[in-house]
């Protein structure tokens, strides 16, 4: 936890970087996270259409409500996260330029934006199926309450706890089309859940001292780099069997996913030999981003060709 003496609510005007209204808004809603989650939401929806033999172009209303609704609840949750973290964000280089820190957005305005976008997005998801709306609410609650308000500042397992909300988007996409979630939908959830710890542990290693100064008990801060490396390798290893539960996507996908998994595991094991831990962490972080993009795009492509 961060003591009261370390709470910072503003920065000097001279330190505030130049920005535009749109740039500040995108920073508030964490547009990068919104966009990346849209990829997994779309993939879940696309596969549900495919496995239920539904024509994509005949479901434009579902597509619109799902993509916009999920974007709104993710953006709203991100805004509320910024509101909750406004005392510790000034202590970290990565977050000290957020509009909640620079004063570009008042606390009340952030709350209004966060709550209103979550409510609107949830309504849109409920207009698809009841299940999609419920899963959306679970994602919001797990991120805003369970992760941001509780585990992030208290438990070293905060990254694993936060992975639940990050794994929800493909389930939302699938449930908006088919509320009877197929095993494929749960495989998408599993991939996203397992992918997040090694991804965010790599980021935490890169930003270890920032997290330490902010009093956030990230794994590298509490347990050190050696333990973090072992955890990352174990999480990547857990991805290995998942493609074999997705054989309905075809042999090409199973082979591609397996190669990606082995490549990530090999890079993870390389961490035991390399002397520069931060360089290795950067490599792991970049690989994780490429891994996720290639894997989810491939799921769409193999169902088209």
Question: In the chain, what are the domain boundaries?
Answer: 4-302
- Consecutive H or E run containing 292: helix 277-302
Query: So what's the pLDDT on residue 17?
Result: 56
Question: What gap in Å lies between CA 210 and CA 228, rounded to an integer?
Answer: 16
DSSP alpha helices (H): ranges in 127-216? 130-141, 152-154, 158-166, 168-177, 183-206, 208-214
| pLDDT tens figures, 35-91 | 999 999 999 999 999 999 998 888 899 999 999 999 999 999 999 999 999 988 888
Measured at the CA of 272, the angle between CA 269 and CA 276, to 5 degrees, comes to 115
Query: So what's the pLDDT on residue 284?
Result: 97
Query: So what's the pLDDT on residue 16?
Result: 53
Question: In which region does residue 276 sit, left (phi positive, over 0), alpha (psi from -120 to 50) or beta (all else)?
Answer: beta
Taking 50 as the pLDDT cut, the residues of the chain under it are 1-14
Dihedral angle at the C-alpha atoms of 269, 275, 278, 281, nearest 10 degrees? -10
Query: So what's the pLDDT on residue 9?
Result: 43
CATH, domain 4-302, list 1.10.10, 1.10.1740, 3.40.50, 1.10.600: 1.10.600
Estimate to the nearest angstrom the gap between the alpha carbon of 76 and the chain centroid. Answer: 14
Contact 120, 155 (CB under 8 A): no
Question: What gap in Å lies between CA 198 and CA 234, rounded to an integer?
Answer: 9
Q: Across all residues in the chain, what is the average pLDDT?
A: 91
Query: So what's the pLDDT on residue 258?
Result: 98
Query: So what's the pLDDT on residue 21?
Result: 86
| pLDDT tens figures, 5-32 | 334 444 444 455 567 888 888 889 999 9
Question: What gap in Å lies between CA 76 and CA 226, rounded to an integer?
Answer: 36
Query: So what's the pLDDT on residue 250?
Result: 95
């Amino acid at each position: 936890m961060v003591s009261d003496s370390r709470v910072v609510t503003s920065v000097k005007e001279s330190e505030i970087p130049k920005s535009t209204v749109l740039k500040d808004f995108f920073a508030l809603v964490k547009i990068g996270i919104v966009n990346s989650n849209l990829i997994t939401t779309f993939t879940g929806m696309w596969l549900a259409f495919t496995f239920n033999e539904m024509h994509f172009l005949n479901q434009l209303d579902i597509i619109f409500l799902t993509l916009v609704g999920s974007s709104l609840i993710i953006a709203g949750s991100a805004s509320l996260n910024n509101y909750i973290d406004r005392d510790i964000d000034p202590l970290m280089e990565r977050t000290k330029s957020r509009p909640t820190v620079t004063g570009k957005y008042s606390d009340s305005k952030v709350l209004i934006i966060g709550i209103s976008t979550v409510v609107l997005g949830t309504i849109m998801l409920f207009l698809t199926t009841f299940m999609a709306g419920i899963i959306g609410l679970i994602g919001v609650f797990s991120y805003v309450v369970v992760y941001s308000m509780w585990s992030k500042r208290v438990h070293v397992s905060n990254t694993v706890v936060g992975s639940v909300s990050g794994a929800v988007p493909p389930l939302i996409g699938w449930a908006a089309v088919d509320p009877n979630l197929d095993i494929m939908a749960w495989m998408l959830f599993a991939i996203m859940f397992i992918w997040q710890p090694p991804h965010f542990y790599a980021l935490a290693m890169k930003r270890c001292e920032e997290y330490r100064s902010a009093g956030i008990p990230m794994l590298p801060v509490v347990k050190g780099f050696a333990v973090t490396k072992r955890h990352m390798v174990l999480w990547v290893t857990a991805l290995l069997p998942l493609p074999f539960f997705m054989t309905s996507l075809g042999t090409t996908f199973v082979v591609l996913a397996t190669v990606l998994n082995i490549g990530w595991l090999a890079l993870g094991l390389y961490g035991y030999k390399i002397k520069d831990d931060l360089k290795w962490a950067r490599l792991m972080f970049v690989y994780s981003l490429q891994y996720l993009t290639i894997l989810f795009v491939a799921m769409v492509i193999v169902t088209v060709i």
